[in-house]
Structure 1
Amino acid sequence: MHTVIRQPAGRHAADMESVLARMLDVMLIALGAVLASLRFAPDTGHSILEVAFVAFDMVFAVLLLPWFGVYDSWRGRSKLRLGVNLVLGWVVVQVCGLAMMYLVHDAASVSRLWFASWTAITAAGLVASRLMVHAALQRMRRAGRNLRTVAVVGAGAHRDSVIANIVASPGAGFRAVAAFNTRPEREPDAPGLPGFRRLREFAGWVRREEIDEVWLALPMSEEDTVLTIMDEFSGDLVNLRFIPDVRSLVMFDRNVIDLIGAPAINLMASPMTPYALMQKAAFDRVFAAVALLALSPVMLAIALTVKATSKGPVLFTQRRKGVDGRVFSIYKFRSMRAHAELPGVVRQATRGDPRITRVGAFLRRTSLDELPQFMNVLRGEMSVVGPRPHAIEHDDQYRSIVDGYIHRYRIKPGITGWAQVNGFRGETDKVEKMQARVEHDLYYLRNWSFGLDMRIVLATVMKGLRHRNAY
């Protein structure tokens, strides 16, 4: 084992940046209070209370904000997460400051408008200052300054993918400088980088060149290699990072989570974060309520037409599976003549199906028969956008023969979806058609964003009147 103690390059600069960031945050807290007072000036007799409140918060900020990791290195990490941590930390600081004011029996005298304005202004200032600093750092790093050198350990496609990610993200502040091939007899060296095939030579070069980080791009099965590398560098202050190759194991992205204090890799779990689900649910309820109000004259006209042109109820209900496989009743305008199905059998509609009424054919072709499902969305059973729910009998049939079918249940089913706007709608008389539909649904789960939902909604509106596969 080698014992080489050195200070990593840039460590002192990073410490100085952390100190300056703390000072800037404290100044922004005081500045936010001043700006709030210009708009909501407190009474002269209460001014000393606001000064005391600000002083308490400045102290609490120094003590509490570091707990939220906002002064750690965010090189290559999500700036959105940094902003969330900053706002959350600032709210906690405000709560503690308010509690301190209550202890001295003066909280009731603080202007509520001033307090709310101060909170909002400072939160915006904290986030904006970080974004500006990181934007400046990204420009520096793209210009070749403030970089951390990285040597990559591994072989094959996963190693090359990690190196490609470094090259494609110059603003993150990393630069790949060498690679150690762990399988030289089967895989070529990394193109464009100095290559090593013997660990001792690689480790000696890392020490001589004072490389900042060594990234282990290895499969999870190569535990012995990981331990060997860790033992080799156990006496050095080089950063070792393990980037496991789990592509063949995991179902979705966003794999690593913090689980009761320990890192865990989601092999099969919901791909959407609780925040994303909350955002999606809020949009669903608001959109459904507005849609029902705006479309109520259209829905009333459709209901009267369905009732007047054929016998039977206006609405057709059928049991479907929703999120986590929970069963609910889906609503549609009835588009078929009343008929009896054999127990456990559901016939899909086919071209020229005699069960479909003339009005029903128009409703199905234009998707107007789906409008009552906004009531399902309002009830929390469905989403505006998501995998289309199938009859339970079809679920039971396809879940065992179509790869990934079961994972459609990981989020709420939708009125429309990525598969539907890409033409995978209507009869699935072949397994290949259902497989293609499921692949589009899984793509949606892996790549969900609010922007993608808006794109699907707009595409649905644009294509709603010309579905060739709906009959």
Structure 2
Amino acid sequence: MSRKTQGLTERYPAQLIIPLVDILAVLLGGILAYEWRFDSYQLDERYVLTITAISLFTVLINSLLGAYSRWRVTRVSTLVARLMMVWMIVGLLVTSLIFFTHSADRFSRLWVGTSLILSFVMAGGTRVLAQLILRKARLKGMARRSVFLVGPESQLLKVAKGMRAFPEEGYSIAGVERLGSDIHEETLSLLASRVSASEAREVWICVPLEMGYVVRAIFYTLRNHTAEVRFIPDFQDMHLLNHRISEVAGHFSIDLSVTSISGMARFVKRAEDLILGSLIGLLVLPACILIALAIKCTSSGPVLFKQYRTGDKGKPVKVYKFRSMEVHEENSGVVTQATQNDPRVTKLGAFLRRTSLDELPQFYNVIQGRMSIVGPRPHALAHNEYYKDLVESYMRRHKVKPGITGWAQVNGLRGETDTLDKMERRVEHDLWYIDNWSVWLDLRIIALTIFKGFINPHAY
């Protein structure tokens, strides 16, 4: 498998690129239709506004209908048919908007129809071409997604046969763990080690319904892994109604541990971080300069404190904070949390910690793409090693980028986590946020942070 190609398709998936393609198709279609109708490329202002409206409607309706997702398993004919429905809805909205604003006499109906047809042809043609290129690449062994299979041999053979029958979906087997009728602790421990060694992006638990009891044990065993976990049972002739399932390699998949912030949602959240992060960064820049000068004048050492924390998909990222302690050394792998009246904390540092001003440099991490404005707070690497075996699903909070503020923080779960119960409650809130993410939830958390999240008397 080509790691270079895999990296490109994972970093720039089709569901992120295609919305930009749709906008470009609408723009080009509108310009070409205008030149054909009026023999000019200099668009009148009202036509520019109409093209903008068509672009927004197109992206919005495609997103609402889920047309930017499930690219690996959606047929080309389905993609084009879905796109045609979207364009018909967009055409209806645009013509209705023109009619109800009493602007029909100011627009060429021929231009509206021609621009919609041209943009549909370009957007649809791009989809067909992209699917053909991606499927051809996967058939050649590129842009593939590695999968670790777990289950009885008979079930694994069925799933492997399905993967071979659908090579264009781009899945490859990174490892196999055959299960017997009895599952022992040694088997589960070996499974966790083999999954880590395989570096698989997904783990498929392939067991018949009568072995459903082992799913819980396997899921718990993989709690410290950030690979996506799917349950692929053998439903035989059962008919399921209104269940959230996926279809991969010709098999039903019940998603057990898949983040909701993916595909188009990931693109939207990144845009949110860039826009808000840049604006807030500019607003707090004078305060950052004053704090940096104050730190330099009141204690010796660097202005910024840099520390590696666990980031998106469990990868370490360097996080910046204003230094709030005297410069000191700790034993390797040991991170001592600040406590009340901690002698290491400077007087200025205590103020910065209580007001959360020490975290302002993390807006630079947001612009870098290492963090988000809203997300689970990043913990020290040593804390992750300590808590991952004590708190179930602890490492699953790392399926998204860490945040400057989060759902746990605005609900009072800030500061020292000196008991296991406090950490469990924080993780519970982090996982709820990941499962229920939306732009509106992010804006709500930011608003709550502004009104009640900065000052924390328990932040030592």
Q: TM-score range by the shorter chain?
A: 0.5 to 0.7
- Indicate whether 1:376 and 2:360 are aligned: no
- C-alpha deviations, 1:372-397, integer Å up to 9, x for none? 00111111111111100111000000
CA distance in 1, matches of 2:350, 2:402: 24
- Whether contact under 8 Å (2:37, 2:111) holds in the other structure is no
- Indicate whether 1:282 and 2:271 are aligned: yes
- C-alpha deviations, 1:150-194, integer Å up to 9, x for none? xxxxxxxxxxxxxxxxxxxxxxxxxxxxxxxxxxxxxxxxxxxxx
1:81 aligned partner: 65
- The alpha carbon displacement at 1:416 in A equals 0.5
Question: Aligned with 1:266: secondary structure?
Answer: strand
Aligned-pair Cα RMSD in Å? 3.9
CA distance in 2, matches of 1:426, 1:299: 22
CA distance in 2, matches of 1:367, 1:87: 51
Residues 467 and 88 (structure 1), Cα distance of their counterparts in 2 relative to 1, 3 Å cut:
farther
Residues 450 and 220 (structure 1), Cα distance of their counterparts in 2 relative to 1, 3 Å cut:
farther
Question: Aligned with 1:311: secondary structure?
Answer: coil
Question: Aligned with 2:319: secondary structure?
Answer: strand
CA distance in 2, matches of 1:115, 1:295: 46
CA distance in 2, matches of 1:45, 1:440: 59
Which amino acid counterpart does residue 440 of structure 2 have in structure 1? G
Which amino acid counterpart does residue 404 of structure 1 have in structure 2? S
Identity across the alignment (%)? 43
Residues 258 and 354 (structure 1), Cα distance of their counterparts in 2 relative to 1, 3 Å cut:
same
CA distance in 1, matches of 2:427, 2:411: 12
- The alpha carbon displacement at 1:272 in A equals 2.7
- Whether contact under 8 Å (2:371, 2:402) holds in the other structure is yes
CA distance in 2, matches of 1:287, 1:463: 19
- Indicate whether 1:412 and 2:406 are aligned: no
Which amino acid counterpart does residue 307 of structure 2 have in structure 1? Q
1:310 to 288, 294, 299: 299
1:297 aligned partner: 286
2:149 aligned partner: none
Residues 271 and 302 (structure 1), Cα distance of their counterparts in 2 relative to 1, 3 Å cut:
same
- Whether contact under 8 Å (1:423, 1:469) holds in the other structure is no
Structure 1 residue runs of 5 or longer lacking an equivalent are: 1-31, 47-69, 71-77, 95-110, 124-218, 231-239, 245-254
CA distance in 2, matches of 1:409, 1:353: 29
Residues 453 and 220 (structure 1), Cα distance of their counterparts in 2 relative to 1, 3 Å cut:
farther
2:104 aligned partner: none
CA distance in 1, matches of 2:249, 2:407: 35
- The alpha carbon displacement at 1:45 in A equals 7.2
- The alpha carbon displacement at 1:114 in A equals 5.0
2:323 aligned partner: 334
Q: List aligned pairs for 1:85-100, cutoff 5 A.
A: 89-90=83-84
Residues 407 and 298 (structure 1), Cα distance of their counterparts in 2 relative to 1, 3 Å cut:
same
CA distance in 2, matches of 1:379, 1:451: 23
CA distance in 2, matches of 1:368, 1:442: 26
- Whether contact under 8 Å (2:260, 2:436) holds in the other structure is no
1:447 aligned partner: 436
- The alpha carbon displacement at 1:88 in A equals 6.6
Residues 262 and 304 (structure 1), Cα distance of their counterparts in 2 relative to 1, 3 Å cut:
same
Rg larger in 1 or in 2?
1
Q: How many residues align?
A: 274
- Whether contact under 8 Å (1:41, 1:114) holds in the other structure is no
Q: List aligned pairs for 1:19-30, cutoff 5 A.
A: none
2:335 aligned partner: 346
Q: List aligned pairs for 1:425-444, cutoff 5 A.
A: 425-444=414-433
Residues 335 and 117 (structure 1), Cα distance of their counterparts in 2 relative to 1, 3 Å cut:
farther
- The alpha carbon displacement at 1:287 in A equals 1.5
CA distance in 2, matches of 1:379, 1:79: 26
Which amino acid counterpart does residue 355 of structure 2 have in structure 1? T
CA distance in 1, matches of 2:352, 2:113: 51
